[in-house]
Amino acid sequence: MIDKLKDLNKAFENKVRLGIMSALLVNDFVDFNSLKHLLHVTDGNLASHLKALEKVGYITVKKEFLNRKPNTKYAVTKTGRNAFIKHIKAIEQLLK
Amino acid sequence: MDQQKYLDDLKDIKDIMNRSSRFISLSGLSGVAAGICALVGAYVAYRTVYAGQDYLGYRQADLSSGNLTTLLLIAILTISLAAGFGIFFTTHKAKKDNQKLWDMQTKRLLLNLLIPLVTGGVLCLMLLLKGYIGFLAPLTLIFYGLALVNASKYTFSELRSLGILEVILGLLAMHYIGYGLLFWSVGFGLLHIIYGIIMQVRYGS
């Protein structure tokens, strides 16, 4: 049991982070508002989780302006993609 | 012990991946409505082309320029009605599911649908102007099918098999070129209704 747990990634223990990674994995990029709508979370909550994922290098942030309004886009990094896939595999192993 | 939690996690992951990458507000009812519009349109077109001929003996399609204008009008009306119903039912479903209608997924779906569709449409108009009217039914079916296959990556995967069926029908229609209207009615009418019902039962209200 202990052995199986070691591949589970602490960074993805939270539902919001799991949701962010799921959305980013199947899209080239997703902007802040789409993520908010998709996950039904508040601005502050989402922002803090995005920050945490950015800090460990799993996602990248690109800020740009769309019709003079700030539009922040998020994309998954290679490290993040590998880490998330490993995490899903670990969950699947646990359920076997 | 935490099995349920992890099962939930996996379910969430799958659900979010689907919702974030696919357009899921497409309503089955819009398929049924489009199918009915197509059948009515095909029937009116049939009456126009074969007007005033008895059912015995050989019949010949009347494709004079006057009739062509009528046919074009019928086509435009049919497409507008079908698209209108599609937009209506889809908006309705999006509202009910509390989904945003005009987002990245919708744009991506429409763009990928329109690339083959517009190509086919322009090609058909060119052929029509040169008088190759027999190619219209097969080619509209083929290009519509290819458009569906292309767009299916961004919405329900069932659209892919519908697209493939349309392409096959189109190729058959090209071979049996005199029966264009019949194949057209099956492809745009019957198949839409059948698929619409399937989608409605599977994902409907």
Record: contact B21-A38, CB cut-off 8 A: no
Mean per-residue pLDDT over chain B, rounded = 88
Max CA separation in chain A (angstroms) = 53
pLDDT reported for residue A73: 93
Is the Cβ–Cβ distance between B34 and B192 less than 8 Å?
yes
Rg (CA), chain B: 20
B9 lies within 8 A of chain A by CB: yes
Chain B residue numbers with beta carbons less than 8 Å from the beta carbon of A4 are none
Record: contact B13-A22, CB cut-off 8 A: yes
Antiparallel, parallel or unpaired: β A59-66 and A30-31: unpaired
Interface test with A, best of B16, B19, B23, B105 (most A CBs within 10 A): B16
pLDDT reported for residue A4: 60
From its phi and psi, is residue B57 left (phi > 0), alpha (psi between -120 and 50) or beta? left
Q: How close, in Å, is residue B37 to chain A by CA atoms?
A: 35
**What's the distance, CA B155 to chain centroid?**
14
pLDDT higher than threshold 70 for residue A1: no
Eight-state DSSP code of residue A12: G
Q: How close, in Å, is residue A65 to chain B by CA atoms?
A: 17
pLDDT reported for residue A68: 84
Task: Tell me what ipTM this predicted complex has.
Answer: 0.82
- Residue pLDDT, tens place only, B104-159: 788 889 999 999 999 999 999 999 888 888 899 999 999 999 999 999 988 888 99
- How far is it, in rounded angstroms, from Cα B196 to Cα B189? 11
Q: How close, in Å, is residue A83 to chain B by CA atoms?
A: 15
What does the angle CA A56 – CA A60 – CA A72 come to, to the nearest 5 degrees?
A: 130
pLDDT reported for residue B43: 93
Residue/partner pairs of A78-83 with CB below 8 Å, 24 or more apart: A80/A21, A80/A24, A80/A53, A81/A25, A83/A9, A83/A11, A83/A12, A83/A58
Higher-confidence residue of A34 and B193: namely B193
Within 24-53 of A, beta carbons closer than 8 Å to B belong to 25-27, 30, 34, 37-39
- Tokens of residue B110, six digits: 């429409």
- Residue pLDDT, tens place only, B43-92: 999 888 887 666 656 666 777 778 888 888 999 999 999 999 999 998 99
pLDDT reported for residue B203: 83
- Closest alpha carbon within chain B to A17: B13
Higher-confidence residue of B166 and B180: namely B166
- Residue pLDDT, tens place only, B25-41: 888 999 999 999 999 99
pLDDT higher than threshold 70 for residue A3: no
- Considering B10-19, B102-111, B191-200, the range whose residues carry the highest mean pLDDT is B191-200
